[in-house]
Amino acid sequence: MKKLLKMEMYEISHNYIYLLMIGIAIVYGAYSGYGDLEMNCYNLPIGGYEALLAMLYDAPGTCILISAFPALLIGKSFSNRTLISKISYGNSRGIVFFSKAISILIITTAVMLIYSFSGAFAVTIKYGWNAPAEVNIIILMKILICTTLLYLAIFSIIIFFGVIFRDNLKTVIVSVITILMNAIYLFVARTMNLPLYMHPMNLLRVILTHNSIFQFISFSLEAIILLGIILTLSYNIFRNCELK
């Protein structure tokens, strides 16, 4: 699996879709960093730390933008028959599936973080980092680790739709609509008192200000469990589906 995973990462890193993802994340992130400072949601001094929190707070909207790219990646794997060729070379379906899923999730989550840090970096150059005195590396690491796990859980639904439809266009459309509807629900639930607390997109925001050890562990565990459930369901479908 290690060799196949390296191959997957090499293929994706040389794919124009991935390069476009990186380019958009850097340019749009740097541009958005200054725009997000106008919100000043956390009443922090203007600087890179405030920009970072603001951009992580906007994660639900960014997920919608980014979701089309991993959907294209998994859809193309079925459309151009690369998954079939790897299985025909003697690799088990389990190894092929998990190497593809892991590589896509890693790349997509990395792009999300690049987006946030590019904005924070651009603002830091002009205004400085300006983090509050009580903020330390441990707090920042708790936020980033939990955020990363939640990103993986959210984007794993794209893998699920990929193995269901095994089609480029259908995977993109359904994935984007699903993440869009969840982002809309996040907005509507706040005004209508609908169940929201354990929604992954809501936790992306809650962890920014409520990052105690209990919340860090509980949110991270939820993300890991959700990720495990979705990938297990996806693998069971892939293991039994007919690859054309």
pLDDT tens-place string over residues 30-61: 999 888 777 777 788 889 999 999 999 989 98
> Phi, psi (5° rounding) for residue 210?
-115, 75
What is the tens place of the pLDDT at every residue in 142-182?
999 999 999 999 999 999 999 999 999 999 999 999 999 99
What residues make up the domain containing 187? Answer: 2-240
Domain count, the chain: 1
Average confidence (pLDDT) over 235-242: 92
Q: What is the pLDDT of residue 244?
A: 65
Among candidate residues 55, 61, 56, 59, the one with its CA nearest the CA of residue 38: 55
> Is the per-residue pLDDT at 207 higher than 90?
yes
72: Cβ contacts below 8 Å, ≥ 6 apart:
17, 168, 171, 172
The structure's pTM equals: 0.94
Distances, alpha carbon 113 to alpha carbons 74, 89, 134, 242, in Å: 20, 35, 23, 36
**Token pair of 227 as six digits:** 């990720």
**Residue 45 DSSP symbol:** P
Nearest-angstrom CA–CA distance, 163 and 184: 25
